[in-house]
Amino acid sequence: MNGLFNTVSNAVASGSNTGNSIMANGDTTVLAVRSYKCSQGTCATSMSMLYTDDLNGEVKCLEDNASCVLDGENARRGMWVAGTGSGTLILRALTFDKGYSGNGGGVSIYSGAIVDLKLLVFSNNRATSSSYGGGAIYVYSSGTTVNAYGTRFNGNTADSGNGDDIYRHIGGTITIHNTCPSPYSSNTPIQGSALDTSGTINGNKYSYSCTPYSCNAGSYNPTTSNLLSACQDCGEGKYSASTGATSDATCQDCSEGKFSTSTGATSDVTCQDCGEGKFSTSTGATSDATCQDCSEGKFSTSTGATSDVTCQDCGEGKYSTSTGATSDATCQGENRQDLKLQHHQGCTLHSVGHPILYL
C-alpha cells in the first residue's frame, strides 16, 4: 500500500506483496482525514486504491466518522484483499466511494481472508460484470469470512442486477451484524434484489439504527442521510461550535460590529471587526459593506463598534467634512473662540488693531 498513510505502527514490509506494502502483519495503519484519489498519486495498483496479500492488522481513519474517503473516480476498485495469513484484517471508519470493477467495486475479498468491516460507508460503487456482481462488496472462495458491523450502503449498483450491495460467491461466508439502510426482507434474497448471493447471508439485517450522519462543527445535516456529503456548511456571517447539528439554527450570527466572509466557521474568531471610523448595528453580516461610517464632524479610533456612540465630535472651533474619519487629524480650524467675528455691545472686532468704541 503506497502513499496513503499518516502513521504506521511497527511497519516492516512483509507478505508476498512487499513491493507495494508499508504494512506488516499486526500493524495499525491510520489514514489522515481527506479524500484519496489515484489521480493524485495515492494508489497501490492501477486496479485498486488499496491492495493487501496475506496481511492482517487494521486500516482505519484518524477520525471514527468515515471521513477518510477512498475515491475510485469510477475507474478502479476501492480495495482488494487477497488472504489475511493467520490473522484478521480490520477495516474501520472508511468511505469507499465511486469504486469500479467487474466484481466488488468497493471491496473484493477472497483467498480465505478473514475480514471485519466496521463503521464503513459504501457509496456509488459499481460492479460491471454481466454475470456476478457486488457493487459494494464481493466475497469469494472457501474459507473467506467477512463480518460487517454498522455498514452503510447508498447508491451502489451491479450491471448484472445481482447484488447491488453485496455478492457472496462460492464458499465464502459473510455475516451482516447491522446495516444502514435496512432494505433486506430475508436472509436469502432473490436474484436482482439489493442483496444477491449464491447462498445464505447470516445475521440480523434490522438491528442497526439508521441515524443521520453526524457532521463536524461548522456544518449541519438537515436530512436523514448517513453520508458525509449530506453535511452543509454554515453560511457567511455565521459560525457553529456544535457537532451533530441537524439544522442551520445552530449556526450563530457574528455579533454587531463584526462581519465574516467565511463558510463552515467553527468559532467567532472568523468574525472580523468593523474598522476604525465605522460601526455596525447588524448581526450576521457577510461583508464590511454593513459597517457604516461615522458622520461628518466626527471620528473614531475604535474597532468593532456597535453604534455611533463611539464616534467622537471634533473639538470646539473645529470641523470636518469627511465621513468615516479615523482620527481628529481630519478636524480642521483653530480652537480659539476669541477669533470668532462677532458684534457685542456696540463693539466691532477688526482683524488688526484694537476695538473702536462708537459714542
Q: Report how far Cα 338 is from the mean position of its chain's Cα atoms.
A: 68
- 44 within domain boundaries: yes
Of 239, 323, 325, the C-alpha closest to 285 is: 239
- In the chain, the number of structural domains is 1
- CA atoms of 159 and 125, how far apart (whole Å): 11
How large is the average pLDDT for residues 22-35?
A: 85
How large is the average pLDDT for residues 227-243?
A: 89
| Ramachandran class of 98: left when φ > 0, alpha when ψ lies in -120 to 50, beta otherwise | left
Band (192; pLDDT cuts 50, 70, 90): very low
- 113 within domain boundaries: yes
- 65 within domain boundaries: yes
Helix (H, G, I), strand (E, B) or coil at 332: strand
Q: What is the extent of the structural domain holding 14?
A: 7-197
Band (227; pLDDT cuts 50, 70, 90): low
pLDDT > 80? residue 356: no
Over the stretch 36-94, which tens digit does the pLDDT of each residue have? 988 876 576 668 888 888 999 999 998 887 889 999 999 999 999 999 999 999 999 99
Instruction: Give the DSSP letter of residue 348.
Output: E
- CA atoms of 259 and 114, how far apart (whole Å): 54
Instruction: Supply the pLDDT for residue 9.
Output: 38
Instruction: Supply the pLDDT for residue 254.
Output: 96
Among 75-89, 222-236, 260-274, name the one with the lowest average pLDDT: 222-236
Grid coordinates given for 142: 472457501
Instruction: Supply the pLDDT for residue 195.
Output: 53
- 258 within domain boundaries: no
How large is the average pLDDT for residues 319-328?
A: 92
Band (181; pLDDT cuts 50, 70, 90): low
- 257 within domain boundaries: no
Torsion sign over Cα 75, 77, 79, 83: negative
Of 42, 99, 51, 110, the C-alpha closest to 75 is: 99
Over the stretch 98-149, which tens digit does the pLDDT of each residue have? 999 999 999 999 999 999 998 888 999 999 998 888 889 999 888 999 988 8
